[in-house]
A = this chain, B = another copy of it.
Amino acid sequence: MNAPVTVQSQRTDTSPFLKRAWYAAALSTEVGPEALFHRTILNIAVMIYRKQDGTPVAMRDRCPHRFAPMHMGKRQGDEVACLYHALRFNTDGHCVHNPHGKGHIPQAARIQTYPLIERYGYLWIWMADDQPDPALLPDFSPLEKGPETGIGHTYMYIKANYELIIDNVMDLSHIDHVHGEIITTRGQLSPLTPQVKEDRQAINARWEWKQTPALHIFSTFMPDPEAEARHFFDITWTQPANIQLSVGAIQGPGELDLLDCVGQYDLHTCTPETETTTHYFFSTRRNHIVEDGEFNTFKIQAMHTAFVEEDGPIIEAVQKEMGTTLFFELDPVLMSNDIAPVKVRRLLRTLIDDERANATA
């Protein structure tokens, strides 16, 4: 994790996003050893690359001289030279070489860097100006426990505000209506009002139900694929935009958890590109046939397709119809299945308001 270089700005921050938080900047696999990767995060163009020892670094994708994107430049060891006039910067964002005139390096020739943590298959970025707080990155360590053939990761670009994606996942009652046979609960889920628990850091919702046969994704791994099974969904939102989802099924005695059930431990995490576009990441680790690499590839592709072809068009259509991100101003009709997503919207709003109040205090 790099120490941040803060370039002071006189302008007031009007970002609509929580800034003191860890956002998924990229999947670890998206940033190759040599590449100057770039992605816009919270409206800011960011360049990410790996040092020769593999450590990732992130900095604003903009030369402070004449604003050319740094990712168009050239690597020189761990340093990057701007393509336009060859100012060269080190991983701290300091200019270390100026080929012009006598080579004087202006004090202001610095690029804001952003701390990164590489963990759980992701590069997590801290976009705020102040000291990063590693404790704010939630624990998703179950993603790391098990073989590579038991986990899949994917990235999706969605033309909608990130909160609409969170709404989608926090209210799982949509699955019987939006998705096909693969994860149908046969109408068992919608009548249930999930148990919801909350504190200042997290909002949890939990459903338990029986169905016959089990969820299609699990039924073939059950003792009796045609028989009834008990199920659970357990989802936890953590700031800024993570939803950890566990789901499992069991026949006979045992607890409704991932120790006893056939199930999987998933992470949905959203990173705003802009107010109306989102980088949507998804990971899933299953606890069955974990050595089957072929099945692993099939499974993550199937889930990617379901999100992109089934949830994606609805979420993007809602964004288009809303034309704004001010959800509550449109007077939505809220129901029992909205309890969890509405709690998330309200807590997130509180966290953002508090952050701004502190920033101006």
Say whether, besides A191-B102, A314-B84, A333 and B65 are in contact (CB < 8 Å). Answer: yes
Which chain A residues in 103-120 approach chain B with CB under 8 Å?
A: 103-104, 106, 108-109
Asked whether A318 is an interface residue with its Cβ less than 8 Å from the other chain, the reply is: yes
How far apart are the CA atoms of A174 and B87 in the complex, in Å? Answer: 11
Report B-chain residues with C-beta under 8 Å of the C-beta of A193.
101
Task: Tell me how far the C-beta of A72 lies from the nearest C-beta in chain B, rounded to whole angstroms.
Answer: 6
Interface residue from B64, B82, B85 paired with A337 (Cβ < 8 Å): B85
Asked whether A275 is an interface residue with its Cβ less than 8 Å from the other chain, the reply is: no
Asked whether A251 is an interface residue with its Cβ less than 8 Å from the other chain, the reply is: no
Interface residue from B174, B191, B317, B336 paired with A69 (Cβ < 8 Å): B317
Which chain A residues in 94-143 approach chain B with CB under 8 Å?
A: 98-104, 106, 108-109
Asked whether A41 is an interface residue with its Cβ less than 8 Å from the other chain, the reply is: no
Report B-chain residues with C-beta under 8 Å of the C-beta of A167.
66
Asked whether A346 is an interface residue with its Cβ less than 8 Å from the other chain, the reply is: no
Asked whether A171 is an interface residue with its Cβ less than 8 Å from the other chain, the reply is: yes
**0 or 1 for each of A331-344: is its CB under 8 Å from B? (1 = yes):** 11111111000000
How far apart are the CA atoms of A217 and B313 in the complex, in Å? Answer: 48
**0 or 1 for each of A295-339: is its CB under 8 Å from B? (1 = yes):** 000000000000000000110011001100000001111111110
Contact B62 A321 (CB under 8 A): yes
Give how many A residues have a beta carbon under 8 Å from the other chain's beta carbons. Answer: 53
**0 or 1 for each of A147-184: is its CB under 8 Å from B? (1 = yes):** 00000000000000000000100010110111000000
Contact A191 B333 (CB under 8 A): no
Asked whether A45 is an interface residue with its Cβ less than 8 Å from the other chain, the reply is: yes
Report B-chain residues with C-beta under 8 Å of the C-beta of A347.
none
Asked whether A68 is an interface residue with its Cβ less than 8 Å from the other chain, the reply is: yes
Task: Tell me how far the C-beta of A229 lies from the nearest C-beta in chain B, rounded to whole angstroms.
Answer: 22
Contact A332 B66 (CB under 8 A): yes
Asked whether A16 is an interface residue with its Cβ less than 8 Å from the other chain, the reply is: no
Asked whether A33 is an interface residue with its Cβ less than 8 Å from the other chain, the reply is: no
Say whether, besides A68-B317, A314-B83, A321-B67, A335 and B101 are in contact (CB < 8 Å). Answer: yes
How far apart are the CA atoms of A337 and B109 in the complex, in Å? Answer: 14
Contact A100 B191 (CB under 8 A): yes
6 interchain pairs, CB-CB under 8 A:
A67-B318, A67-B322, A82-B177, A99-B191, A104-B335, A108-B331
List 5 additional A-B contacts (Cβ < 8 Å) besides A62-B321, A108-B333.
Answer: A64-B332, A65-B338, A72-B313, A85-B337, A86-B177
